[in-house]
Structure 1
Amino acid sequence: MRLSRIFPDVTSLCASFLILFLSIVALPLDGAAQSPGEAGEPPALVASDYDEWEGVAQRAEDAIEQDRASQEAFDQLRAELVDWRSRFETAQSANSAAISAVQAQLDTLGPAPENGDEPTALAQQRSDLTARLEELASPARQAEIAYSRADALIRSIDANLRARQTQALMEIGPSPLDPSHWPGALEDVATFAAALAGDVMDNWNDPNQRQVFRQNLPVIAFLVLLAMVLVLRGRGWIERLALSVLDQKQSAARWLFSFIVSLGQIGLPVIGLAVLAAAGTTSGLLGQRGETIAQSIVGAGTLFFFTRWLAAYVFPVSERAGLMLQISQTQLREGRVYANVLGLVLALYVLAREAITLEGWDAGTRSVLLFPLIVVTGLSLLRVARFLILHGRADPDDEDGARSFRQQIVLALGRTVALLAVLGPALASVGYLQAGQALTFRMLYSLELLSFLLIMQKLVGEIYIVFTGDRDRASEALLPVLLSFALTVATLPVFALIWGARRTDLGEAWAQFRAGFDIGDTHISPGDFLIFVLVFVAGYAMTRLLQGAMRTSILPKTKLDKGGQNAVISGLGYVGIFLAALIAITTAGIDLSSLAIVAGALSVGVGFGLQTIVSNFVSGIILLIERPISEGDWIEVGGQMGFVRSISVRSTRIETFDRTDVIVPNADLISNQVTNWTRGNLIGRLIVPVGVAYGSDTRKVAKILQDVAEEQPLVLLNPPPGVVFTAFGGDSLNFEIRAILRDVTQILDVQTEMHHRIAERFREEKIEIPFAQRDIWLRNPEALREASHPLATQAVPPQTEQDSEAQADQTPLRPSHLTQDDLPDGSADTDGDGDGGGGDR
């Protein structure tokens, strides 16, 4: 079947996409185009080759200057120029090995002395080598000049074809709203239909064709019956089967199975149409026009059923089917209707274009025939745009009320579709049929490709869920995001083809991409990038393997502590990554010498703007080498206390006792005072202060405290704990228990247990633990008796007023505790001297 004539847009898009994919797969690592089976250097072009090239170039220049050649002629001429350009590109590498050898000899000789004092033999050898180098480099230079000429001619042809394409879009023709064109268009359509019927009647009147039809009648009847079943019933069967799979249980495996089954909604009807076309061809009655239209029906049906399949996912019947828009079920049902209308219009558009190509109808007939299809497509797209806008304006998922990025994209897409849905028919109505047709149907093609892309992205996510079994984390996983991004990038060339880019334009873009670009004296190509990535990934993997071997096999057998082992592993990782990057850059042939000036200029900025980062980096290296602290140490720095969990080159992460992470810059650990409670070992001292009332037996108290300290299992007995009578305090006799713990990290537990035991032993031995007490002296207690309310019994700290005074001493507290509100005039003696004030008399 001539599918390229049936639906040239879709076929050309798929073919171009396939060509681009094969070009990517066939990309050589060195980025240069090499001929198959070419083991040595490419041969240099001879004089006859350049003579032939001169004729081709002159012919191309004449065609471009006259601008009379057809598009087919320009395409053929361009193909010849592309072939010559490839030959010149290959010829630029001629004699490369010999040139490298001669250049190496010249480098060995070095530059000529400035004073000219050089032995004659060396001067002669340098002169011969220079002449030989010029001779060897001459073919490459000639090929380079020819390459530039061929490339310029190709660009001129591309510019000419693009100008023609733009001119065709802007060409104004007869308006389809002019009634004078309607009779002619109807007559052309009627004539075409009569011609199809006439071909059938002519073939039926032919005895030989009629005999062939009768002989094949059983086969034809079976094919027609099978086609009717597949076309009319096949899609419904598959749709019900796919929905029944989804309705049983929600799982990724069931969704994948339903997706595979749903492809039958396209396959079975299209097979039915192909069978129907085969039945028509087998009958021998259709004729050439009829067979062409029958083949076109297959392509048109493919687009129709493909559009319906997309609509089943964009406007699904079941919520489990896929891409749910945030619109009502009624609007989803309406969306499926408009999608079916778009598919039908697209199929009729394909058939109309095929008929126009066959009959060669004039501009008036084309305008009248295609304008209704453009209008119906525009109205349907306008309704679909409304659904997209409603989805974009739906309630946002974010708590702050901001729309998500996807909602903003959908909203912008809906507005763009609405604009083009109105602009396309408007342009076609005034005579710009090509422009209106392009805007309307290209927007339809773009929506279908975008819908297909979203379905493929969901397919990637469901496959990931099948392999991982974790649906909750699938949306946050990196691999599905990368695959979805790769699918998006892969569809960009197809979008470009839809909107008017030629396959040759994409081929040129791909050729330039493969050729790479220059940064100073450094040439970077995709091959260099791939080599860099592969070498770096290999070096990174080897570094991780070496770290794993050191962590699990080698370092545990040494005498290094855990902190030292972590320092060695971290340092090994940094060195390995640095070496991997350096080797990858060298292997890829990237010359960084041209960046030396830029690096020197940036060093000034590093010295000023990045000095904090550099300081932290150097401090991190010092921490890893000197190891004043290690992972797992209990440290205190800047008022923060906790365990060191990780040490990186910029900062250190400390986990506090509140289970919060504190990120401390490494410079603070180097320049500030740091207390390391567990440096080297876990042994540490515990001090527990205890106060007893005056009059207690101090020897007995010391003995009790000594017993309490010695009975703790974490207290070391060598050196033994001690009890110190520290001072005669203002309220108590002060003692301290000083004990060495075998695990200082348990200091709070030991301290708590000691407090419990001290309280128990003091209660048993009738030893009192005092507390601070104060007396309040009132200057005029007779005023209290005149108060209208009884005295309160709650105590507050004495407050100073202008006419009040309180006196405090160390005698035991009386049971009278007053607030300022209990005093009628607020008077109180706060300093005990009876003058009613807080100062001295």
Structure 2
Amino acid sequence: MTFLPRLLLILALALGTLAPVEWRPGWIPGSGPAAAQQAIDYDAWHDVALRAEAALDSGEASTEALEDLRAEVVGWRQRFLEAQDTNAAAIESLRDQLDALGPAPEEGETEADEIAARRAELTEDLANAEVPGRTAEAAFRRAEAIVRQIDTLVRTRQAGELMQIGPSPAIPALWPDALADFAESFREMAIETRAQWNSDITRETFRTQLPFTVVYIVIAAVLLLRGRRAMVWLTQAVLNRSRGRARWLAGFITSLFQVVVPVLGILLLLAALISTGLFGVRGTTFISALSGLGMATFIAWWIGLRLYPLHEDAPRPLAATFEYAGEMRFHAILLGVLVGLRYILSALVGVDSYSEGTRAVLYFPLLVAFGFVFLRIGRILMRSVSLSEANDELDVTFAQRGQRLVGQALVVLAVVGPALALVGYLNAAIFAMVPTVSSLAVLALLRILHDIVVELYGLITRKSSEEAGQALTPSLISFGLVIASLPVFALIWGARPSDLLEVWAQFNAGFSVGDAQISPSVFLTFLLVFVVLFAGTRLFQSALKSTILPKTGIDPGGQNAIVSGIGYLGIGLGAVIAITTAGIDLSALAFVAGALSVGIGFGMQNIVSNFISGLILLVERPVAEGDWIEVGGHMGIVKDISVRSTRIETFDKNDVIVPNADFISGAVKNWTRGSSVGRIIVTVGVAYGTDTRKVEKILLEIAMNHPLVALDPEPEVDFLEFGASSLDFQMRMVLRDIAYGLPVRTEIRHQIAERFAAEGIEIPFAQQDIWIRNPEAMRLGKAQVATEEAAPEPPTDDAAASSSGSTSDMRGEDTVDDAGPDGDQA
């Protein structure tokens, strides 16, 4: 036997002792010879079904036998599922032909003999074509029922084992027997080894393999004693020599060898010992379990160093608890050692079949040790969060909340686990404690993987660690890793692989919406086709907007309307094509569409109204991008028209989002619809006595001399009216670009003021005279006020309240009348 095959064999043996029985070869559904057959042998299936139903009825079959039987039934079930689509194309064709013949005549009606004969022939062919599918469907239902019954029985047995109560380890009489059984295992191991050595064949094999054994032991000793220290030195050297963003990743990759090298040494040592041929069944099992102890210890050591690195400048995944870094590293290693000891104890229990009392006594100290470590780790995790809150760090992150929850769970398990074992529920205590360690390891690995994702993202995008840590993409990837780890957690906490496969099978089967079956493959097909068509639509829109439409002479608003319309049309057609390609029957979703229409009618009226209004705006184009409009009290330039709303940029550079329904149901003033030509009006007044003809001539000259005022039609000056204080004139001018309306008005007014000043024309301002009709009453009122102020105060409030006095009545009234320039007063 050469070195590499022997090493692979040893690795398989070591992993085989650690892996659950469900993961070993042979359990995979459909792997038997029946799966390789093309035609379904229903007689063979009937025998398998009868055997499975008999085992379920008796209830005496072991769990392992039930698992094997279940795997065989699942293989048949998969074949039946695939066989349900037999003759699908022919069945569809026959149904289409029957539909083409029209509905069958009702009772009392007749049809042509040729059509009746053809209908009978097609009906018979359809019935024959449906036979394989219906038979497979019936067999599928039977297999499905058997699988469900086996799952129910196995889960019931698992629950019963967890709740099984045995002897308490607190009974002193159990301890001597337990220690004796434990010592007996090693005596039996020594007897087996002595028996192997007494065999001539074994001694000859030992002598032949001795050189290889020595080489293996020497290499294993070097890897175990010096390998890890050398890898630590190598990691530090890589960190010292590396620069930039790749430094952390290079250090992480080299740190993996701190686990790989010692584990390789363990496997070499295991291969060296087994190659001697001196160990029997117990010895080989014990040595394999020892390899599990070494692997668990080194993996836990590595995880502790990644979460709590030795160097202060290294990244700290759990910075909140870093003040307890040394203690947390120690507890991590201790958990690895305890897990390894549990492997050894499980191996001995499996070989020697200890009694319930011996199992309770041997497991109890181990569970107490687990509880001590859980208690300390849980208190540290909770303490760190409490310190963060005490330091006024009010923004406690989601990770810290999760850390506190994990700490609280560990503290509870630290008490509950040993207590369950103490009262006799050993299986429940093991189930509570041992999977918790594996769950902590998976959580730690997820945290380390998150750091790897962040560093890789920062390396690719050239962002800092802080920026990469706040980005969305690494968070989504980490969330996906958490979702992907859920099956691992399920397996850790007792789920069977067959249960996960059952969930996966149901997931692949999808769900039904009417007569349509939605499965992951259908969804992925729909998504892929839609994404391709959507990308093609965007490319076509880009080509139209940048290359084709600018050469057509269509105004920018029309170009945007065409591009938007093609975009919505492309998305709609893409969705229909994707649904058809995926094989989703839209007619099967008719009832869903009907229910949605009712919901839309009542709950989404405004949204649908705005959507339809947006389509109308894009088709009729009463408003286009770039138009100057006024709607709902808002004035500005149209920047974007979508199917739900329109964005207007006001002259204050604010964006106003206006629902499209307001453009259809309300009044909209469009200043630049069709052209930029628009009219402005300037009003001015002159003093009475001014030559009105001269004023009209001056205003016309000012209007016609402005470069932005159009001469066709010519500007007009109107003498409006004789105002209260002035003679009022109005200038009406058409501008070539109404967008310059305000600057033109300002310039026109400046020129009017300058010309009127030069010509001596006065622009009056409003004047008003105040007439007081009763000045005597006002003077009498002032005298009365002076008299009251000079009078002494009344002696008491009651006397003042009871006394009656007369007051003067001022009958003055203020009126405002327009008056002449002199402002006469009466």
Mapped partners of 2:331, 2:756: distance in 1: 90
1:3-49 deviation digits (Å, cap 9, x = unpaired):
676466974599699x99x99xxxxxxxxxx989x9xxx64x4xxx3
The alignment status of 1:586 with 2:580, answered yes or no, reads yes
The structure 2 residue matched to 1:626, chosen from 604, 620, 624, is 620
712-721 or 610-619: which moved more?
712-721
The question of 1:233 aligning with 2:226 is answered no
**2:45 corresponds to which residue?**
53
The reply on whether 1:71 has 2:63 as its aligned counterpart is: yes
> In 1, Cα distance between the equivalents of 2:21 and 2:697?
96
Structure 2: which amino acid aligns with 1:506? L
Residue 171 of structure 2 is aligned to residue 178 of structure 1: yes
Mapping of 1:191-230 within 5 angstroms? 191-193=184-186, 208=204, 211=207, 215-216=211-212, 219-220=215-216, 222-230=218-226
Residue 165 of structure 2 contacts residue 426 of structure 2 at CA under 8 Å; is this kept in 1? yes
State the partner residue of 2:487.
493
Give the partner amino acid of 1:577.
Answer: I
- What amino acid sits opposite 1:674 in the alignment? V
- Offset, 1:198: 6.8
Q: 2:553 aligns with which of 559, 566, 575?
A: 559
Equivalent residue in structure 2 for 1:127, among 120, 124, 127:
120
Matches within 5 A, 1:558-707: 558-689=552-683
3-state SS, counterpart of residue 630 of structure 1: coil
Per-residue CA deviations over 1:292-330 (Å, capped at 9, x if unaligned) read: 444434433333333333334444556876564462531
Following the alignment from structure 1 to structure 2, what is the Cα–Cα distance between the partners of residues 677 and 462?
Answer: 55
Give 1:664 deviation, angstroms. 0.9
CA distance in 1, matches of 2:663, 2:393: 39
C-alpha change, 1:214 and 1:605, in structure 2 (3 Å) is closer
CA distance in 1, matches of 2:433, 2:458: 38
Alpha carbons of structure 1 residues 409 and 678: separation in structure 2 relative to 1, 3 Å: farther
Correspondent of 1:743 among 717, 737, 747: 737
Report the Cα offset of residue 70 of structure 1: 1.9
Shift of 1:652: 1.1
Which segments of 5 or more consecutive residues in structure 2 lack a partner in the other structure? 1-8, 787-808
1:447 to 430, 440, 443: 440
- 1:234-633 superposed matches below 5 A: 234-237=230-233, 240-241=236-237, 244=240, 251=245, 253-281=246-274, 289-316=282-309, 324-325=317-318, 327-390=320-383, 405-470=398-463, 479-633=473-627
Question: After the TM superposition, which of the residue ranges 763-772 and 347-356 deviates more from structure 2?
Answer: 763-772
Q: Give the distance between the partners of 1:211 and 1:287, measured in 2 at CA.
A: 18
Deviates more, 1:619-628 or 1:140-149: 140-149
Cα distance between partner residues in 1 of 2:678 and 2:142:
84
Q: Which amino acid aligns with 2:99?
A: D
Native 8 Å contact 2:35 2:76 kept in 1: no
Which SS does the other structure have where 2:648 is aligned? Answer: strand
2:22 and 2:497 in contact (8 A); partners too? no
Which amino acid in 2 is paired with 1:635?
I
Contact residue 242 and residue 259 of structure 1 kept, 8 A? no
Task: Note the alpha carbon deviations across 1:406-450, whole angstroms, 9 max, x for none.
Answer: 554444444334333332222122121111111112122222222
**Aligned with residue 80 of structure 1, among 65, 72, 78:** 72
Q: CA deviation at 1:640?
A: 0.9
Separation (CA, whole Å) in 2 of partners of 1:513 and 1:309? 37
For 1:317 and 1:691, how far apart are their aligned partners in 2?
A: 89
Cα distance in 1, alignment partners of residues 617 and 260 from structure 2: 66
| CA–CA distance in structure 1, aligned partners of residues 482 and 723 of structure 2 | 79
Distance 1:65 1:107 in 2: 48
8 Å CA contact 2:613–2:643 kept in 1: the answer is yes
With 466-475 and 342-351 compared, the bigger mean Cα shift is at: 466-475
8 Å contact kept, 1:807–1:833: no
TM-score, structure 2 normalization: 0.81
Give the Cα separation in 2 of the matches to 1:727 and 1:14: 104
Residue 740 of structure 1 deviates from its aligned partner by: 3.9
Could you tell me how far apart the structure 1 residues matched to 2:742 and 2:757 are? Answer: 23
In structure 2, what residue type is equivalent to 1:228?
L
Amino acid at match of 1:467: I
Closer, same or farther: CA 291–802 of 1 in aligned 2, 3 Å: farther
Letter in 2 for 1:565: Q
Q: Is the 8 A contact 2:16 2:24 kept in 1?
A: no
Q: How many residues align?
A: 780
Q: Larger deviation: 705-714 or 523-532?
A: 705-714
Per-residue deviation at 1:496? 1.4
Aligned mate of 2:152, from 159, 170, 178: 159
Task: Name the amino acid aligned to 1:71.
Answer: T
Provide the C-alpha distance between the structure 2 equivalents of 1:643 and 1:393, rounded to a whole number of angstroms: 55
Cα 1:491–1:759 shift into 2, 3 Å? farther
Match of 2:656, SS state, is strand
User: In structure 2, what is the Cα distance between the partners aligned to 1:145 and 1:327?
Assistant: 60
Identify the range of structure 1 (167-176 vs 414-423) with the bigger mean alpha-carbon deviation.
Answer: 414-423
Secondary structure of the residue aligned to 2:320 is: coil
Q: Which amino acid aligns with 2:219?
A: L
CA spacing shift, 1:698–1:134, aligned 2, 3 Å: closer
1:738-792 Cα shifts (integer Å, max 9, x gaps): 54444333444445555666677778888776666778899799999x99xxxxx
SS at match of 2:676: coil
Q: Which has the higher contact order (CA 8 A, sep 6+)?
A: 1
Cα 1:225/1:292, change in 2 over 3 Å: same
CA gap 1:217/1:527 in 2 versus in 1, 3 angstroms: closer
Contact 1:300/1:347 (CA < 8 Å) preserved in 2?
yes
Alpha-carbon distance in structure 2 between the residues aligned to 1:705 and 1:393:
82
Give 1:488's aligned amino acid: V
SS in structure 1 at match of 2:495: coil
Q: Normalised by the size of structure 1, how large is the TM-score?
A: 0.80
> How far apart in 2 are the matches of 1:318 and 1:777?
95
Distance 1:643 1:289, change over 3 A: same
One-letter amino acid of the structure 2 residue matched with residue 443 of structure 1? T
Give yes or no for contact 2:435–2:492 (8 Å, CA) kept in 1. yes
Measured in 2, the distance between the counterparts of 1:13 and 1:467 equals 42
What's the secondary structure of 1:327's corresponding residue?
helix
Q: Which segments of 5 or more consecutive residues in structure 1 lack a partner in the other structure?
A: 24-33, 788-800, 815-830, 835-841
Judging changes above 3 Å, is the alpha-carbon distance between structure 1 residues 140 and 14 closer, same or farther for their aligned structure 2 residues? closer
**Contact in 2 for aligned 1:223/1:279 (Cα 8 Å):** no
Are the structure 2 counterparts of residues 369 and 809 from structure 1 closer, same or farther at C-alpha, using a change threshold of 3 Å? same
Report which stretch shifted further, 315-324 or 264-273.
Answer: 315-324
Q: Sort the Cα spacing of 1:761 and 1:101 in 2 relative to 1 into closer, same or farther, 3 A.
A: closer
For residue 170 of structure 1, report the CA deviation from its aligned partner. Answer: 1.2
- 774 and 345 in structure 1: CA distance in 2 versus 1, 3 angstrom threshold: farther
* Percent identical residues: 46
* Distance verdict in 2 for CA 1:128–1:719, change over 3 Å: closer
Cα pair 2:375 2:410 within 8 Å, conserved? yes
Q: Which amino acid aligns with 1:536?
A: F
Aligned letter for 2:605? Q
Maintained 8 Å contact 1:209/1:285 = no
